[in-house]
Structure 1
Amino acid sequence: MVKNKITFKALLRVFALAVLIALSVFLAYKFGIIELFLNEEKLRKFIQSLGPFGVVGFVILQAFQVVAAPIPGEVTGLLGGYLYGTVGGIVLSTIGLTLGSVVAFILGRVFGRPFIEKVVDPVVLSKFDYLLHHKGAFLVFFLFLIPGFPKDYLSYFLGLSRLSVLEFTVIAGVGRLLGTVLLSLGGDYLRHHEYEKFFSLAGVAAVTMIVVWLFKEKIERLLRIWHISRYRKNKRKK
């Protein structure tokens, strides 16, 4: 009886959240929020129109694009460097990205696996399911460092892991730093019309992404083997 009651409550929570997400998506399309995110020029004008509150608006935009995982973060990352320079862009983007990551992590923890399965790509779920069996903070940090990995989806997914909120906050904040630096630097180059530097940076980033994509499966497999063998070794010591 108690078990059925708990299951009913869990289903009710998931249903309520699904309704909330559906309503949010509808309103986002209705008022052009999704289109706003996909148009860098509109985003720039919107942030500038906020005046002194533009900094807060930008941080909220960065956080939202993580929670709404399908929205590309590259646009807002470049925008940060364009509007606030390299250092300002890095600081504000890091705050927003970390905030959004933590929100996604907490949502995953509170609403559990049924919710995660509706939000996260099933391929991501199956590939990184082993992370749920033991903490593996170092490996999670390494995954966040690698460009091209689905960090937004991982933020939701890791809500089911043994990581504490504090541990995840540090990992998400520091782990996203490399990509944030590159995007902010690129935005700053555009701001000062340094197109040669921008395209050189974009070229390096593109080559890195291609290399990661080509060896992605091998990297994931090696990390999985290393992580599981390390866990078994620690378990035998205990």
Structure 2
Amino acid sequence: MSLEENETAETRWNVKTFAFAGLFITLIIISLYLLYHMFFVDETFLYTIVIEWFVNPIAVLGFLGILIFILIMGIQGLLVPIPSEIVLVATGMIWGLIGGGIMGIIGSMVAALLCFYISRKGGRPLAEKFVGGKALFLADRFIEKYGMGTIIVARFLPFIAFDPISYASGLVDLDVKKYSIGTFISSIPRAFFYSWLGSILFPPGMSFPINLADVPLAELEAYSANFNFLLVIILGVLVILFGIYYVFSIYLERKAKINRENSNAKE
């Protein structure tokens, strides 16, 4: 590679790095502002936004709202930083425990198959653009070692990252029918768990569109406090698991590198 090509590659790398760093810092600032506003200014702030700008519009649109929800789940699969868990909680708020669970399963299947086919058709470089190299590397290793067991366990446990498994599954020699069946079965408890959480965060006996002005202030504050607490718990657990995921992926990468070097030395 020439000096000019090196400089071009380095410049592109720096631009990409600064872009991701800028996006990450922006998200951190927005998150901190929302947390401050939620806990010190108006604890009903975020809950009100979710009800008025997400739950109400989808609920009143009927079948079109269902299609919009499925579209959101698909987009969420492409934008991995958006946790699917938060979207699944909203299903319980909109359709209740049973309806929300069913919609959660449908949305999860759409997202899982979309990620699977993107990875299968576009290959590893495209998959890494969506989910990141380290997350994909770790998921890849587990699927290669444990096969369908990895998919079932990862889907079954509520707080395990959903999308890296979907992308990694498209890269290995895995039959799409087996993948779909495993995803469907293990998505059931996950979808109903988050649907149940959403259903208990919603004022009972109210019809759509919800007018929060009709909800007694004390009751609204109680639901908002529970929503805020649940959101912090979900995000906190996801951050911790992401940290563990990241560190473990580095460990596996270094181990694989050492094994390759030892193998080359023997040859």
| TM-score of the aligned structures, taking structure 1 as reference length | 0.62
Aligned-pair CA distance for 1:99: 1.0
When residues 148 and 48 of structure 1 are mapped into structure 2, their CA distance, relative to the original with a 3 A threshold, is closer
The answer (yes or no) to whether the contact 1:144–1:176 under 8 Å persists in 2 is yes
Equivalent residue number for residue 263 of structure 2: none
Q: Which residue does the alignment assign to 2:260?
A: none
- Report the Cα distance in structure 2 between the residues aligned to 1:75 and 1:48, rounded to whole angstroms: 17
Residue 80 of structure 2: aligned partner:
69
Within a 5 Å distance, the mapping from 1:43-192 to structure 2 comes to: 43-131=54-142, 133=144, 136-192=147-203
Tell me which amino acid in the other structure corresponds to 1:127. L
Question: Matched residues in 1 for 2:83 and 2:55: separation?
Answer: 15
Amino acid corresponding to residue 40 of structure 1 in structure 2? V
CA distance, structure 2, for counterparts of residue 52 and residue 113 of structure 1: 36
Contact persistence 1:141–1:175 (CA under 8 A): yes
Structure 1 residues 83 and 66, CA, compared in 2 at 3 Å: closer, same or farther?
Answer: same
User: Aligned residue for 1:36?
Assistant: none
Query: Are the structure 2 counterparts of residues 146 and 40 from structure 1 closer, same or farther at C-alpha, using a change threshold of 3 Å?
Result: same
Q: What is the rounded CA distance, in whole Å, between the counterparts of 2:241 and 2:111 in structure 1? A: 25
Partner of 2:27: none
2:133 counterpart letter in structure 1 = P
1:194-233 maps to which residues of 2 (within 5 A)? 199=226, 202=230, 209=237, 213=241
Amino acid at match of 2:177: L
1:171 CA displacement = 2.0
Structure-2 residue corresponding to 1:14 = none
Quote the offset at 1:69 in angstroms: 1.9
Aligned residue pairs, count: 183
1:106 Cα deviation after fit: 0.7
* Corresponding residue number in structure 1 for 2:211: none
User: Is contact 1:47-1:58 (8 Å) kept?
Assistant: yes
Cα separation, 1, equivalents of 2:126 and 2:63: 37
Query: Alignment partner of 1:71: what SS?
Result: coil
Q: Look up the SS of the partner of 1:191 in the other structure.
A: coil
- Write the letter of the residue equivalent to 1:98: M
Return the offset for 1:135. Answer: 6.7
Q: Deviations over 1:141-167 (max 9, x none)?
A: 112222332211221121001211111
Long gaps (5+) in structure 1: 1-38, 225-238
| Residues 129 and 190 of structure 1: CA distance in aligned 2, closer, same or farther (over 3 Å) | closer
Structure 1 stretches of at least 4 aligned residues deviating more than 3 Å after TM superposition: 131-135, 192-196, 198-203
How far apart in 2 are the matches of 1:72 and 1:147? 12
| Structure 1 CA distance for aligned equivalents of residues 150 and 62 of structure 2 | 41
TM-score with structure 2 setting the length: 0.56
Deviation at residue 52 of structure 1 after TM alignment:
4.1
User: Does the CA contact (< 8 Å) of 1:40 and 1:75 recur in 2?
Assistant: no
| CA distance 1:118–1:209, change in 2 (3 Å) | closer
C-alpha contact 2:131 2:163 (8 A) present in aligned 1? no
The equivalent of 1:40 in structure 2 is 50
Query: Which residue identity lines up with residue 138 of structure 1 in the other structure?
Result: G
Q: 1:51 offset after TM fit, Å?
A: 3.6
The letter for the 2-side match of 1:62 is M
Cα separation, 1, equivalents of 2:189 and 2:63: 28
Instruction: Kindly provide the amino acid, as one letter, of the partner of residue 94 in structure 1.
Output: I
